[in-house]
């Protein structure tokens, strides 16, 4: 199942009580070896950004990241360039690479666009998806539900993202796919954090079950509306957090949220 370019990592730091925080695997050393080194570095660094291990607006420290990932600076720099192309990292004059940070207006505008793209993807996918593709999405949904039961947010988010990517891919529109990937990369960290609230996470899970049913029934109108509503709920959660000051944009806040 295709995984879009931004699918595994954070930018904004979210302060929550430790008792409410979902489980996140926080390995201190991440060894990387082999011919797929570049892809591994990109994937690991992407996850660090999406899950807030690197705070929004923070400079990417090459020396620290090289030690953490156990790679030289050359593959690290190439990975940073790729993530900059995806939209998770910004390359700024005199500062270098920094983790993407969206303000409230940028987040709202991006979510509005993303909702429209998700809705169109769902409507087209319902018309064009094959039965094997439906079954593959359903299998991902079952895996995602298992991750939710374990309250494993890292695994849940990866599977969740693969489901949305699979629906987008089933629309079979390459122009839509490129626009979707670019817009989604900017929102991944925020989408990740929208599940920190247990009640709202449960609502998102229910919405996903309804999406799978609509996709299997080839009900494009229903799936479109479900996806738009789902993204609007994500937007509302994120904006509420921003306005309440529970989304911080400093490395210190990121460490406190762990």
Fold assignment, 13-101+249-256: Arc Repressor Mutant, subunit A (1.10.10)
CATH architecture of 104-245: Up-down Bundle (1.20)
In this prediction, residue 37 carries a pLDDT of 85
Please, are residues 244 and 237 in contact by the beta-carbon 8 Å criterion?
no
Q: What is the mean pLDDT of residues 121-131?
A: 98
Q: Ranked by mean pLDDT, which of 57-61, 111-115, 239-243 comes out on top?
A: 111-115
Give yes or no for a contact between 207 and 194, defined as CB atoms under 8 angstroms apart. Answer: no
- The confidence band for 231, taking pLDDT boundaries of 50, 70 and 90, is very high
What's residue 180's pLDDT? 96
Q: Is the pLDDT of residue 74 over 80?
A: yes
The predicted model gives 138-153 an average pLDDT of 97
What pLDDT sits at residue 38? 85
pLDDT-derived band of residue 97, with 50, 70 and 90 as boundaries? very high
Tokens 């299998």 -> residue: 139
Q: What is the pTM of this model?
A: 0.77
Specify which residues 91 forms β-bridges with.
97
Cα–Cα distance between 126 and 118 in angstroms, integer?
12
* pLDDT cut 90: percent of the chain above it: 65
Query: How far is residue 187's CA from residue 206's CA, in Å, rounded to a whole number?
Result: 21
Per residue in 22-69, pLDDT (tens digit) is 444 444 444 445 447 888 999 999 999 998 889 888 999 999 999 998
- How confident is the prediction for the chain on average, in pLDDT? 84
Give, rounded to a whole angstrom, the gap between the first and last alpha carbons of the chain. Answer: 31
- Residue 12: the pLDDT is 32
CA 227 to chain centre: 16
Domain spans of the chain? 13-101+249-256, 104-245
Residue 17: is its pLDDT beyond 60?
no
């Amino acid at each position: 199942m295709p995984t879009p370019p931004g699918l595994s990592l954070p930018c904004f730091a979210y302060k929550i009580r430790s008792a409410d925080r979902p489980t996140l695997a926080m390995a201190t050393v991440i060894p990387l070896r082999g011919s797929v080194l570049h892809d591994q570095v990109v994937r690991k660094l992407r996850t660090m950004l999406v899950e807030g291990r690197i705070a929004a607006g923070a400079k990417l420290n090459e020396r620290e990241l090289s030690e953490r990932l156990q790679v030289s600076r050359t593959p690290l720099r190439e990975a940073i360039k790729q993530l900059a192309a995806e939209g998770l990292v910004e390359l700024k004059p005199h500062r270098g690479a920094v983790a993407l940070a969206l303000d409230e207006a940028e987040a709202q505008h991006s979510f509005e666009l993303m909702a429209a793209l998700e809705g169109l993807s769902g409507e087209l996918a319902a018309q064009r998806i094959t039965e094997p593709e439906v079954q593959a999405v359903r299998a991902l949904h079952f895996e995602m539900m298992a991750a939710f039961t374990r309250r494993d947010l890292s695994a849940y988010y990866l599977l969740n993202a693969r489901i949305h990517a699979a629906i987008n891919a089933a629309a079979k529109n390459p122009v839509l796919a490129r626009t979707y990937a670019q817009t989604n990369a900017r929102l991944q960290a925020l989408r990740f954090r929208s599940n920190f609230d247990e009640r709202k996470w449960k609502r998102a899970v229910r919405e996903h079950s309804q999406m799978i049913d609509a996709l299997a029934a080839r009900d494009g109108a229903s799936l479109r509306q479900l996806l738009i509503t789902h993204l609007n709920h994500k937007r509302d959660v994120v904006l509420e957090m921003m306005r309440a000051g529970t989304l911080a944009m400093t490395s210190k806040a990121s460490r406190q949220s762990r």
